[in-house]
Amino acid sequence: MDCIFCKIVNREAPADIIYEDEQVISFYGLHFSAPVHALVIPKKHIMNVMDIQEDDERIVYKIHQGIQEVAKILGVENDGFRVITNTGQHGQQEINHLHYHIIGGRQLKWDM
């Protein structure tokens, strides 16, 4: 598989890792849109939210638990942050591996 996120999970590609457990891994995003920009991904390759299956229930929980931990590590848990996942072409998904952006560290606006 030629998925950059799978390569990060398998330590075949570099990443600045923030948090990791048995189901998820988090690392800093490359394109910063705010002072805090991190990604949380499942270690299992799931293309996007449309591919989540019933047996992925534990993974979905662990992703959200990972988001909570990363928010605490990066110090945005009290002031707030945004969690974004993109799905498909119109959602501007660039990497076909489920991933959640944690964006914060300043007052965010809706620029659509």
List, for residues 52-92, the tens digit of each pLDDT value: 999 999 999 999 999 999 999 999 999 999 999 999 999 99
Q: In the structure encoding, which two tokens stand for residue 112, read together?
A: 């659509």
List, for residues 14-37, the tens digit of each pLDDT value: 999 999 999 999 999 877 778 999
Q: In the structure encoding, which two tokens stand for residue 98, read together?
A: 């489920």
Domain ranges across the chain: 4-104
What are the phi and psi torsion angles at 19 (to 5°)? Answer: -155, 150
Q: Which residues face 104 on adjacent strands?
A: 36, 81
Q: Which residue is catalytic, options 37, 97, 99, 101?
A: 99
Q: Does the annotation mark 99 as catalytic? A: yes
Amino acid, single-letter form, for residue 34: A
Assigned fold of 4-104:
HIT family, subunit A (3.30.428)
